[in-house]
Amino acid sequence: MANSRLLSQLRELTQNLEEMVERRTAELAESNRKTKAFARELEEVIYVTSHDLKTPLRAISGFSQFLAEDYSDKLDSKAKLYLNRLVDSTKRMEQLLDDLLNISAISSREEKFKKTPMSEMIKEAVAMTSPGADTEVVYDEEKLPAVYCDRSKIVEVLYNLINNGIKFNDKPRKRVEISSRRSNGFYEFTVKDNGIGIEKRHFDRIFMIFQRLHRREEYDGTGVGLSMVKRVIEEHNGRIWVESQLGTGTIFHFTLPEHNDGNRKKPIGERSE
């Protein structure tokens, strides 16, 4: 009799637990759906707003540069200072809007995965950075694999990582070194520089959008690039992390699958079929 009652209580408890799990799963699914819908709407707002602001900002930029070039000699020192600030501010705003449009375009762009030599993508990214005579980007073409990826997106990733290694660098001879190795079904790539480095407490923060570690007067930038890099790598079923020490440089690691399994992650906000 006691055993029967105990079994009954266990069945009731099990049933209650199953109902709780089902209910919580449904709640999480609904929350996830709403989050994705919100993210999609937010990206659309960012794109439209950035696009619509480009035209008036271009006009402001054009007029301010015209005044600076043609009427600067007619202004007193205080007016010149204000005008120069206006020119600099509009340039920064234009760069920010370009970055926002770029990150929106990358997220919504149809992906075209195919096997592409990493060395080719590095060459393209290096050309985009236009490195000066004081900069060298070093890699061994023969030791770099070909990977299944969206070429244009990985070029953007490489451009941002290489450009950061050059920009955040106070050495007389700037150096960025790229290498790779196999690791548990993935290729692990490293982009190592000899720049100013990053404090450990900022390692997670640097991948958040609009996060800047330095004043604009020290280093230019909008705080968008590494956020886009992280998103692209995760869409490719990879991950990215950083090692760094102040004064000695930074190493970014990112992984890409060795094989194309067709099960890429959907970007935040992308609709499921």
In-domain check, residue 270:
no
The most distant pair of C-alpha atoms in the chain lies apart, rounded to whole Å, by 104
The verdict on 128 and 93 lying in the same domain is no
The verdict on 138 and 233 lying in the same domain is yes
In-domain check, residue 205:
yes
In-domain check, residue 14:
yes
Q: Which residue has 């501010």 as its token pair? A: 89
Contacts of 102 by beta carbon, 8 Å cutoff, 6+ apart: 156, 224, 228
| Other C-beta atoms lying within 10 Å of the C-beta of residue 25 | 10
The verdict on 127 and 209 lying in the same domain is yes
Question: What pLDDT, on a 0 to 100 scale, did the predictor assign at position 179?
Answer: 97
CATH of the domain at 193: 3.30.565.10
Q: Domain range holding 102?
A: 1-108
The verdict on 124 and 251 lying in the same domain is yes
Among 48, 79, 108, the domain-final residue is: 108
> pLDDT tens, position by position, for the chain (273 residues)?
555 565 565 666 666 666 665 666 666 666 656 655 545 555 665 655 655 666 777 777 777 777 777 777 777 888 778 777 777 777 777 766 776 666 666 655 556 789 999 999 999 999 988 888 889 999 999 999 999 999 989 999 999 999 989 988 889 999 999 999 998 999 999 999 999 888 888 777 788 765 555 444 444 555 577 888 998 999 899 999 999 988 889 999 999 999 876 555 544 434 333
Instruction: Answer yes or no: are the C-beta atoms of 238 and 255 closer than 8 Å.
Output: yes
What is the Cα–Cα distance from 207 to 226, expressed in whole angstroms?
5
Q: In total, how many domains does the chain have?
A: 2
The verdict on 196 and 89 lying in the same domain is no
Question: What pLDDT, on a 0 to 100 scale, did the predictor assign at position 1?
Answer: 54
Question: What pLDDT, on a 0 to 100 scale, did the predictor assign at position 81?
Answer: 82
The verdict on 39 and 150 lying in the same domain is no
The verdict on 84 and 195 lying in the same domain is no
The verdict on 124 and 46 lying in the same domain is no
Among 108, 138, 170, the domain-final residue is: 108
In-domain check, residue 77:
yes
The verdict on 124 and 241 lying in the same domain is yes
The verdict on 189 and 89 lying in the same domain is no
In-domain check, residue 219:
yes
Question: What pLDDT, on a 0 to 100 scale, did the predictor assign at position 75?
Answer: 77
In-domain check, residue 268:
no
The verdict on 146 and 62 lying in the same domain is no
CATH of the domain at 20: 1.10.287
In-domain check, residue 64:
yes
Among 60, 78, 108, the domain-final residue is: 108
Number of H helices, E strands in the chain: 5, 7
